[in-house]
Amino acid sequence: MSLLIEVKNIHRTYQVGKQKVKAVQGIDLSIQSGEYVAVMGSSGSGKSTLMNMLGCLDTPTSGSYRLNGNEVSTFTDDQLAEIRNREIGFVFQTFNLLARSTAAQNVELPLVYAGIKGEQRQQRVDQAMLAVGLAERSSHKPNELSGGQRQRVAIARALVNNPSLILADEPTGNLDSVTSEEIMDILGNLNSQGHTVVIVTHEADIAAHCRRVIRLHDGMIASDEKVGD
């Protein structure tokens, strides 16, 4: 496996009124390509801030973050937007689907932003929808799909650009336990096919699906354990 994520001594401090809030404090972290990682922590632990930096949605106040060899901590907003589209597939708790677009059109969006031609876009959308078991729902809009199906569409959208990293933020937070297991099975299958998957969660039963669990406390890594195989 090759090194995908390399974080060295990153800090993230926010100014809230006259007070400085140290959300992340000196984290060092490496993740290899093909790993299946859960990042856990209670509210205020820094896991959301860390996720935002790993996903290039935010940049560290100080420290280094290299993603697939790119030092992204110094990137401009435009460069960050480009690397998000090229390197990272996002899965959110609230699905973040466009209500007036079909499932296929939602999945297609990252390819449109990437400038992929129409015929190739269609092929890749079809493959992604097939990978999540929703090929027959491509023409349905989000309000015609169940919560689990919407999350499958979101996973297909995250997958369609063949990103280096699939980053899932509380991907089962709005789902019942049976549907949650189905979604985790899909993410596990994607990992078994070689995709790097990082899940941010506060649920121990969700983290148990992963092969490595990183726990945060007060903006620092409290533990980092390999589990399972």
Q: What are phi and psi of 189, to 5 degrees?
A: -65, -40
Q: Is position 177 within any domain?
A: yes
Q: Is position 70 within any domain?
A: no
Q: Is position 113 within any domain?
A: yes
Residue 229 pLDDT greater than 80, yes or no: no
Domain CATH code at residue 169: 3.40.50.300
User: In angstroms, what CA-CA distances link 167 with 25, 36, 123, 186?
Assistant: 21, 10, 23, 14
Q: How many domains does the structure of the chain reveal?
A: 1
Q: Is position 23 within any domain?
A: no
The predicted-structure confidence for 51-101, as pLDDT tens digits, reads as follows: 999 999 999 999 999 999 999 999 999 999 999 998 999 999 889 999 999
pTM: 0.93
Which residue bears the tokens 């974080």?
Answer: 7
- Domain with 172, as residue range(s), is 35-59+77-226
The predicted-structure confidence for 44-63, as pLDDT tens digits, reads as follows: 899 999 999 999 999 999 99
Q: Is position 20 within any domain?
A: no
The predicted-structure confidence for 161-218, as pLDDT tens digits, reads as follows: 999 999 999 999 889 999 999 999 999 999 999 999 999 998 899 999 999 999 999 9
DSSP 160-227: TT--SEEEEESTTTTS-HHHHHHHHHHHHHHHHTT-EEEEEES-HHHHTTSSEEEEEETTEEEEEEE-
